[in-house]
Amino acid sequence: MYDAIIIGGGPAGLQAALTLGRMHRRTLLLDSGAYRNGTVRHAHNLLTNDGRDPAELRRLARAEIAAYDTVEIRDAAVSTVEREEDGLIVTIDGGQLRARAVILATGVADELPPIPGLAEHWGDTVANCPFCHGHEFSGRPVAVVNASAHAAALAAMLEPVASEVHVVAPADVRAVSGTDDGLRLELTDGTARDVAGAFVAPTWTVRGEIVDALGLERQESGAVRTDPFGRTSVEGVYAVGDIAQPDHLPGPMFSLAAAIAGGQLAAVAVVQSLVVA
């Protein structure tokens, strides 16, 4: 019986593992290797790591966690989690594992607008978040490829950063290709626009199989509903990182720093629950 099984080896899960390791709790972290920022080579807006390759962040995190004897990390995918009377059963390919608590840090998956060429540049010159990838386009033109109600606000946020902000409806972009120092948007009217980068609005969905099997309550956004410490509607199950939305926030906070904070708080709550139990 583990004290905690963490499902997910992104920043949320890794931080939870570090915190539980420091409290000498028997912990297993399972990681299927599908990271939301898997195509990103430079992640930003994380103190002391601004611009670091996320793969390097994960490598460093695993190396730090290796110093704590009670934490084990396995590269494995979880198929289901079930609640039983005195804990939880986690099923992986090689069998079943038991834990007093499960921390879900399984993240979300993005579906990009169906524009040919876009996916090849996702995480580099095509991004969704101006806090993460905006400053890199300083003083150069950018495009907001977004027809939603948020497009104007996003454009306004980018105004102090970029030289020009062009708002373009996704339906008006025929294809996207790379240039020496940015992107070319080929428009349906036959013209082209060269920009340093483009901001799109992917459709995100919670990686949901485990969430649904457990019957976890969700927010209107689709994220898992939690309290400020990541506790979900099922006892002993916590959700952190991109997958989770605490009641006091308007949506899930998609960032490395927020994921790390969530992972730490949930691990603290797990330790507390084990002491009380």
Part in contact with ligand FAD (CB under 6 A); list of ranges 3-11, 94-102, 156-164, 219-227: 3-11
Indicate the residue among 238 and 254 with the shorter CB distance to ligand FAD: 254
CB 59, min distance to ligand FAD, A: 13
Buried b / exposed e over 59-83, threshold 16 CB at 10 Å, is eebbeebeebebbbbeebebeebee
Task: Tell me, residue by residue from 177 to 216, as one string, x for binding to ligand FAD by CB under 6 A and - for no binding.
Answer: ------------------------------x---------
Report whether 17 contacts 73 (CB < 8 A).
yes
| d(C-alpha 34, C-alpha 167), whole Å | 31
- Which residue from 77, 161, 167, 175 is in contact with ligand FAD, where contact means CB under 6 A? 77
130: contact with ligand FAD by CB under 6 A: no
CB 167, min distance to ligand FAD, A: 20
255: contact with ligand FAD by CB under 6 A: yes
* 30 exposure class (CB count in 10 Å sphere: 0-12, 13-18, 19+): buried
* 123 exposure class (CB count in 10 Å sphere: 0-12, 13-18, 19+): buried
Contact positions vs ligand FAD (CB under 6 A):
7-13, 30-37, 40, 43-46, 77-78, 105-107, 110, 122-123, 127, 132-133, 207, 241-242, 254-257, 259
